[in-house]
A and B are shown apart, each in its own frame.
Chain A
Amino acid sequence: MQDKAEISTRNPDDEESARQTEKATGASALRPTRRSFLTQLGVAGLTITAAPLIAQSPAASPPVEAPAETPASAPGAVPVTLNINGKPYQLNLDPRTTVLDTLREHLNMFGTKKGCDHGQCGACTVHINGRRMNSCLTFAVMHQDDKITTIEGLGQNGHLHPVQEAFIQFDGFQCGYCTPGQIMSGAALLKEPVGPNDDDVREMMSGNLCRCGAYDNIVAAVQSARRKG
């Protein structure tokens, strides 16, 4: 039985997302994930080569803290409610915070990846009002009332999106880092005007780079999902 992860939060929505994170990642005080362990080291000011590390038990480490929210009284912080995967999240954000950084740094939603942070790789692809976009190139405060869908919201355990199923069936990934962006792109593509051929799919998936080179299988996966309607 796992204890609830000790993640300090400032608002109920963060707490809820922390619970979801725990459920998704299995992180807890007794069984940290690599992410929570390394974060604890960072918080404690330690590096991997530090000797006291070996004696340190995870339960005694400082709790993983969600990065501090900009308090409402901080100059320039803007209140915004984001609708993400069907749920509202009330936030006070520095307007410089992109949707990508909001997801990863404020909401513990790590599925969306940061590759280039400049709209050039597609790893950060999400859907906003049903359209695929690069979440790194838009500020969160611009999206009050917009419907945002991330990879976490595309399918559920036991009920995957057809593109997710196809990526598994056709082995559409190696390291997996570009994969959420590829899947979000492919899922949106199903509803866009795209020609029938593999070359058409390559062209319309060209905004998602894959350093492992899984492109052939990615195209096969997307074509399969398209054929299934």
Chain B
Amino acid sequence: MESFQYEQVKTVDAAVAAHPTQRGGKFVAGGTTLIDLMKLNVETPQVVVDINPLPLNRVESTGDGGVKVGAMVRNSDLANHELIKQRYPVLSQALLSGASPQLRNMATTGGNLLQRTRCYYFRDTAYKACNKRNPGSGCAAMDGFNRIHAILGTSEHCIATHPSDMAVAMMALEAVVHTEGAKGERSIPLDKFYRVPGSTPNIENVLEPNELITFVTLPGLANGTRSYYLKLRDRQSYEFALSSAAVVVKLNGDRIERARVALGGVGTIPWRSREAEQVLEGKPANIETFKRAAQAAVTDAHPLHDNAFKVKLVQLCLARALRVVTQQS
């Protein structure tokens, strides 16, 4: 691991004022992504600013039936929080499906959104061709073993999958990310937060240098809205998704009045599927509707040499999730 200068800050102002980016540095919270990648020399910050003391660890009700989640709330606390379990089961399920109990005790809300891909070639600096680590150097995964890679949102420069479960659930819940930076505060809807790789896979989100996520808000859901997260993977636990679906649905009788769909394990970013939502809304909640919605979700899918199975798997995953959520009472 490369040497670095360690600093700790106790307030958001101090964190922003530490301007780590200008100094070739990063914030550290749970460390479960950053320290992992520092050990691999994929991340080599010269300064590490420890934000663990920041008073951003509350989960609070907001006026509209929604919830405000501090950026430092640990994943396990968020998953087990009464407000989340009651109002947003999809989020609790998504969090509990990820990582391990130990990691969930360490990882934070802000950090989970910003976690980096598990692409083997990104994580191994012996592979020089990685446009995400080293823009312009090529992509070793393209002609390599790309079973875990993305089928949606890819480009000729990068096919790496975004690994978060929490972010997929938050995408379906239309979360808003709140930040503080040199220019003050701003609010970024989660579906505008991430950047697909395009020709700049090294840029993963819209955060400015030194901008810090302070909290995330989830809007209130109408009474009777149900939500569910289904994650499919090689192992039953402690494994990333091959395909996952977060669905948030409100029925009116046997018709789908409102639907939000996000997919995991298949996108270069947590994948909001408006294509599926448009097929679902106003239609009867039956298997034909679910299948057509799933087909719509993969219209722009680009399968690779080793991950073509994901095109079918994610459809089955979404159709199953919709069936489960619409059968819940």
Contact = CB atoms under 8 A, between A and B. Distances in A.
A94 B38 CA distance: 14
User: Which of A96, A132, A137: most chain B CB closer than 10 A?
Assistant: A137
Interface string B74-105: 00100010000000000000000001111101
Interface centre among B6, B38, B80, B100, by most A CB within 10 Å? B100
Given A138-B106, A142-B28, A142-B31, A132 B101 contact: yes
B237 A134 contact: no
A131 interface: yes
Given A119-B103, A207-B100, A95 B6 contact: yes
Interface string A80-111: 00000000000000111010000000000000
B101 A119 contact: no
B39 A118 contact: yes
9 nearest interchain CB pairs?
A: A207-B100, A95-B6, A206-B237, A131-B105, A206-B238, A134-B102, A96-B1, A207-B102, A137-B35
A78 interface: yes
Interface of B: 1, 3-6, 8, 28, 30-32, 35-36, 38-39, 48, 50, 52, 76, 80, 99-103, 105-106, 236-238
A188 B76 CA distance: 13
Contacts of A204: 101
B3 A207 contact: no
Given A98-B35, A118-B39, A134 B48 contact: no
B39 A134 contact: no
Contact of B36 (A119, A139, A192): A119
Nearest to B100: A207
A77 B267 CA distance: 42
Given A193-B80, A206-B237, A133 B106 contact: yes
Interface of A: 76, 78, 94-96, 98, 117-119, 122, 125, 131-134, 137-139, 141-142, 185, 188-189, 192-193, 202-208
Most buried by B among A138, A189, A192: A138
Nearest to B77: A131
B36 A118 contact: yes
Contact of B8 (A118, A132, A142, A208): A142
A37 B293 CA distance: 67
A142 B52 contact: yes
Contacts of B238: 206-207
Contacts of A193: 80
Contacts of A189: 101
Contact of B102 (A78, A95, A98, A132): A132
Contacts of B36: 118-119, 137
A118 B105 CA distance: 15
B4 A206 contact: no
17 contacts: A96-B1, A119-B103, A122-B102, A131-B105, A133-B106, A134-B32, A134-B103, A137-B106, A138-B31, A139-B6, A139-B31, A139-B48, A141-B6, A185-B101, A204-B101, A206-B236, A207-B103
A95 B4 contact: yes
A96 B80 contact: no
Nearest to A125: B102
Contacts of A138: 30-31, 35, 106
Contacts of A192: 76, 101
Given A96-B4, A134-B106, A207 B35 contact: no
Contact of A142 (B3, B4, B50, B101): B50
Contacts of A118: 36, 39
Contacts of B105: 131-133
Contacts of A78: 6
A32 B219 CA distance: 64
Contacts of B5: 76, 95
Contacts of B236: 203, 206
Contacts of A122: 100, 102
B177 to A, nearest CB: 24
A117 B101 contact: no
Contacts of A98: 35
A207 B101 contact: yes
Given A122-B100, A132-B101, A133-B105, 17 more contacts: A95-B48, A117-B39, A119-B36, A119-B100, A119-B102, A131-B105, A133-B106, A134-B103, A137-B32, A137-B35, A137-B36, A139-B28, A142-B8, A202-B237, A206-B237, A206-B238, A207-B99
